[in-house]
């Protein structure tokens, strides 16, 4: 593996691409450290320290957003909104494509249609940025209006109206800059740019998580004052390795459906008759069910606290509580089936197989094939969603049962680990493709990374 990394720098084109990616990542990290004008950095730092301490260390909704922004929210930097408004816009248009005939028609037009959909995605991203930017500016002016803790000192040192307008413009420009940089990585670098930026923001919080864990092991005390020994930290490291291996299995796991190609005469020769397979991913929905469930729960708690006759139930849906975890698990399973139903079309697949002269051994082409694929995908989705739910709930179990700080626990599963593993595997696959094309060995001595066969 190390020799493969060394070989990557021997290829001039690949070396240029990797250096380009490194330069863009540095720019993204700079955008996460430059604060917006009009904010008192010291007062904001003290406020986040108070909120973090009260929640056990980066817990709650603020901790989640701070994690995905790479710490930009804590400094209220120009990249505070991060790349998530673009992700939200992409998800919305993806869900609307099967519903709106105009979008479905554009999708069938190939590259021209996809470019038009990407343009609509950017327009929707700007609208989402304006809404979220206004909410972020309001939160800085008066956090209590959004159900957050009231700061001891004012976080903003300029006029409110001027600050809101200025902040919305700056945060929108910051997000669109990140989107543009992500596109440049995809075109001129290695890997999927948007995904790499999200991954870098998550990994940027890893040193602080390691420092927190080391401090607990050195002091021998946990966040609640309990005993925390060095052997506990070593056990957590082993658990992290095991959970990472399980995440890789979930990401790469698939059910292979054999496909037989029918023989046909082409001139004087017979072609076809070969056997291949159709890979059905166990986790076909990826990280989307967790993102949907997290988004709903992030609005559920403020809504329950805002409505007078439901305020008594708000405590049951706080991060780490039983009510939160049960609701979270149900939503993940539901959204797993919802996403698969929108993205996996067994009737279309069966029709395409029939047109290409392919069939599943022992299954009649057409309706019987579609029914078989639908039943198979339903069983696979059940197994994948249960595995995904266990992976998402595990960090909360560490936080609730073992009192592990959320900033540490989030790297033991959930969205963070799934994104890191998925993006790294995809990037390594692309790097290996470049190396193999130039007659270099890849990252694995035996076989290749799955997904590039």
The helix/strand/coil state of 276 is strand
Q: What is the reported pLDDT for 135?
A: 85
What are the boundaries of each domain within the chain? Answer: 1-202
Pairing relationship of beta strands 254-261 and 275-281 according to DSSP bridges? antiparallel
Ordered per-residue pLDDT tens for the chain, 453 residues: 566 667 777 778 888 888 898 999 999 888 888 888 888 888 887 777 776 655 544 555 566 666 667 777 778 888 888 888 888 888 888 878 878 888 888 887 878 888 898 899 999 999 999 988 888 888 888 776 655 667 777 788 887 888 889 999 999 999 999 999 999 988 888 888 888 888 888 888 888 888 877 777 777 666 555 566 777 778 888 888 888 888 888 888 888 888 887 766 556 665 656 788 888 888 888 887 887 787 777 667 666 666 766 666 766 777 777 888 888 899 899 989 988 887 888 888 888 888 888 888 888 888 899 999 999 999 999 999 998 898 888 888 887 777 777 778 878 877 788 888 888 888 887 777 777 776 655 555 555 554 444
Q: What is the reported pLDDT for 453?
A: 42
Q: In 3D, which of 294, 81, 75, 339 has the Cα closest to residue 197?
A: 81
Q: What is the reported pLDDT for 64?
A: 64
C-alpha to C-alpha distance for 386 and 374, rounded to whole angstroms? 18
Q: What is the reported pLDDT for 157?
A: 81
Judge whether 429 and 452 are in contact, CB under 8 Å.
yes
1-202 placed in CATH 3.50.50.60: no
Structure-token pair, residue 233: 């930290």
Helix, strand, coil share (%) of the chain residues, nearest 5: 70, 5, 25
Q: What is the reported pLDDT for 306?
A: 67
Q: What is the reported pLDDT for 170?
A: 93
**H/E segment holding residue 143:** none
For the chain, the straight-line distance linking the first and the last C-alpha, in angstroms and rounded, comes to 19
DSSP bridge pairs for 260? 275, 359
């Amino acid at each position: 593996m190390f020799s493969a990394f060394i070989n990557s720098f021997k290829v001039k084109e690949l070396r240029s691409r990797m250096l380009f990616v490194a330069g863009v990542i540095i720019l993204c990290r700079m955008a996460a450290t430059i604060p917006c004008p009009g904010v008192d950095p010291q007062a904001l730092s003290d406020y986040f320290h108070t909120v973090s301490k009260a929640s056990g260390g980066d817990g709650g909704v603020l901790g989640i957003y701070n994690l995905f922004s790479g710490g930009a929210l804590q400094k209220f930097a120009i990249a505070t909104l991060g790349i998530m408004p673009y992700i939200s816009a992409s998800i919305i248009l993806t869900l609307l494509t099967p519903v709106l005939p105009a979008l479905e028609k554009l999708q069938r037009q190939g590259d021209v249609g996809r470019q038009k959909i990407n343009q609509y995605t950017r327009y929707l991203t700007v609208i989402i940025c304006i809404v979220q930017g206004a909410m972020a500016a309001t939160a800085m002016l008066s956090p209590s209006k959004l159900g957050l803790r009231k700061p001891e000192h004012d976080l903003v040192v300029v006029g409110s109206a001027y600050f809101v307008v200025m902040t919305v413009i700056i945060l929108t420009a910051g997000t669109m800059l990140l989107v543009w940089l992500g596109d440049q990585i995809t075109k001129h670098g290695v890997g999927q740019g948007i995904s790499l930026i999200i991954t870098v923001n998550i990994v940027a919080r890893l040193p602080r998580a390691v420092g927190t864990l080391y401090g607990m092991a050195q002091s021998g005390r946990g966040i609640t004052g309990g005993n925390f020994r060095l052997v506990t930290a070593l056990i957590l490291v082993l658990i992290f390795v095991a959970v990472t291996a399980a995440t890789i299995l979930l990401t790469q796991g698939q059910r292979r459906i054999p496909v037989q190609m029918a023989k046909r005469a082409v001139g004087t020769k017979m072609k076809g008759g070969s056997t291949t397979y159709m890979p059905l991913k166990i986790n076909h929905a990826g990280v989307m069910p967790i993102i949907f469930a997290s988004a709903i729960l992030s609005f559920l708690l403020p809504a329950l606290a805002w409505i007078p006759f439901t305020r008594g139930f708000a405590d049951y849906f706080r991060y780490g509580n039983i009510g939160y975890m049960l609701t979270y698990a149900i939503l993940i399973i539901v959204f797993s089936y919802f996403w698969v139903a929108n993205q996996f079309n067994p009737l279309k697949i069966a029709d395409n197989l029939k047109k290409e002269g392919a069939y599943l051994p022992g299954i009649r082409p057409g309706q019987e094939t579609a029914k078989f694929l639908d039943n198979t995908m339903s069983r696979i989705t059940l197994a994948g969603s249960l595995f995904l739910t266990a992976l998402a709930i595990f960090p909360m179990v560490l936080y609730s049962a073992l009192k592990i700080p959320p900033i540490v626990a989030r790297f033991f599963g959930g969205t963070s680990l799934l994104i890191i593993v998925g993006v790294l595997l995809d990037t390594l696959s692309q790097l290996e493709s470049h190396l193999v094309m130039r007659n270099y060995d890849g990252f694995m001595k035996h076989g290749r990374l799955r997904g590039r066969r």
